[in-house]
């Protein structure tokens, strides 16, 4: 063979080898896209990298509202998404392919009022401007708390406010109180603007808050991926709960929070992963409250909406 032709042939062969190696490397690195909210109790996904096995890569996508997170799961923009039980229930009740495969967190809520106000109880919210995010878990919980006190939403003046804006709205005096999610309540308290009226966990819903979901099709087509992911989710959850320093540092880094705010909020955030009978019972009660308040037209099919089978296999 002519030397020049031999050289060109060698270059072509080498390029095929490199391309094949590159393709193989890319194929081995499967990206798992995970959506989460910009909240302290949505911080767990940022610890996933520490426990992700070889061959997988985690991409965390933050969302502003629970509805955004739920829609991302429905449209397959993410493989897994964590947000409030309310948004998940709304989607499932409407026939959307949303399935809860794990818990994400308990607690993380608080009813906050201006520090200089006379509001000291739920009953004191009567006639007051209360910041509430429609479609959130907090909305259903506060409506249930009002009912326990012999009140309805008509007894207050609800104002639509996103979680990230609640502390600022209270500081501007746009609202008199809010039903928020951490770190909003702790931001208000640390600034001397707000005070905790109560942590609203006395309803049968208890402390249930955020859930981890996936698209229904994944239960059929991506079972191994779900198993891999849930193991990572459990390990990251247990690590974050056992390492307060790491929890504080990650919240500072990803949410831009001062350490004192995180320290104040941390006792009100219980990261979790397990779906047990008690959790499912509370979730079903929560759905009944949404139906009672006409936020949904029918209950989800809980046999399909909550799938604890993968969760129970995690070791």
| Residue 24 pLDDT | 43
Q: What is the mean pLDDT of residues 282-311?
A: 94
43 vs 311, higher pLDDT: 43
| Residue 192 pLDDT | 96
| Residue 28 pLDDT | 58
The phi-psi region of residue 108 (left if phi > 0; otherwise alpha if psi is between -120 and 50; otherwise beta) is left
| Residue 311 pLDDT | 80
Q: Residues 18-71: pLDDT tens digits?
A: 444 444 444 558 999 999 999 898 999 999 999 999 999 999 999 988 999 999
- The mean predicted confidence, pLDDT, of the chain is 91
* pLDDT of residue 4 exceeding 90: no
* pLDDT of residue 306 exceeding 60: yes
Full strand arrangement of the beta sheet holding 177-181: 157-160, 129-132, 177-181, 109-114, 194-198
pTM score, whole prediction:
0.84
Q: Residues 235-268: pLDDT tens digits?
A: 999 999 999 899 999 999 999 989 899 999 999 9
Residue positions counted in the chain: 315
* pLDDT of residue 315 exceeding 70: no
Q: Residues 138-184: pLDDT tens digits?
A: 999 999 999 999 999 999 999 999 999 999 999 999 999 999 999 99
**Which segments within the chain are labelled E, that is strand?**
30-37, 56-63, 80-84, 98-107, 109-114, 129-132, 157-160, 177-181, 194-198, 208-215, 269-271
| Residue 25 pLDDT | 45
């Amino acid at each position: 063979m002519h030397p020049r032709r031999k050289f060109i042939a060698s270059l072509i062969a080498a390029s095929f080898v490199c391309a094949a190696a590159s393709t193989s490397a890319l194929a081995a690195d499967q990206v798992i896209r995970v959506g989460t909210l910009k909240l302290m109790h949505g911080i767990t996904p940022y610890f996933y990298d520490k426990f992700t096995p070889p061959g997988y890569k985690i991409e965390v996508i933050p969302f502003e509202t629970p509805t955004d997170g739920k829609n991302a799961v429905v449209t397959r923009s993410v493989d897994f998404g964590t947000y409030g039980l309310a948004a998940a229930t709304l989607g499932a009740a409407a026939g959307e392919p949303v399935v809860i495969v794990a818990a994400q967190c308990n607690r993380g809520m608080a009813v906050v009022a201006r520090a200089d106000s006379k509001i000291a109880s739920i009953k004191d919210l009567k006639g007051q401007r209360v910041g509430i995010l429609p479609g959130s878990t907090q909305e259903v919980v506060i409506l249930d708390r009002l009912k326990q006190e012999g009140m309805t939403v008509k007894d207050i003046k609800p104002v639509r406010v996103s979680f990230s804006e609640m502390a600022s709205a209270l500081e501007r005096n746009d609202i008199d109180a809010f039903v928020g999610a951490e770190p909003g309540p702790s931001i208000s308290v640390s600034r001397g603007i707000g005070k905790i009226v109560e942590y609203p966990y006395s309803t049968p819903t208890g402390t249930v808050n955020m859930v981890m979901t996936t698209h229904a099709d994944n239960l059929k087509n991506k079972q191994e991926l779900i198993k891999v992911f849930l193991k990572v989710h459990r390990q990251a959850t247990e690590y974050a709960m056992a390492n307060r320093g790491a929890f504080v540092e990650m919240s500072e880094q990803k949410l831009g929070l001062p350490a004192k705010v995180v320290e104040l909020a941390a006792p009100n955030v219980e990261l979790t992963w397990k779906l047990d009978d008690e959790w499912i019972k509370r979730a079903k009660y929560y759905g009944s409250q949404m139906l009672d308040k006409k936020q949904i037209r029918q209950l989800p099919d809980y046999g399909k909406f909550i799938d604890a089978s993968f969760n129970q296999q995690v070791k």
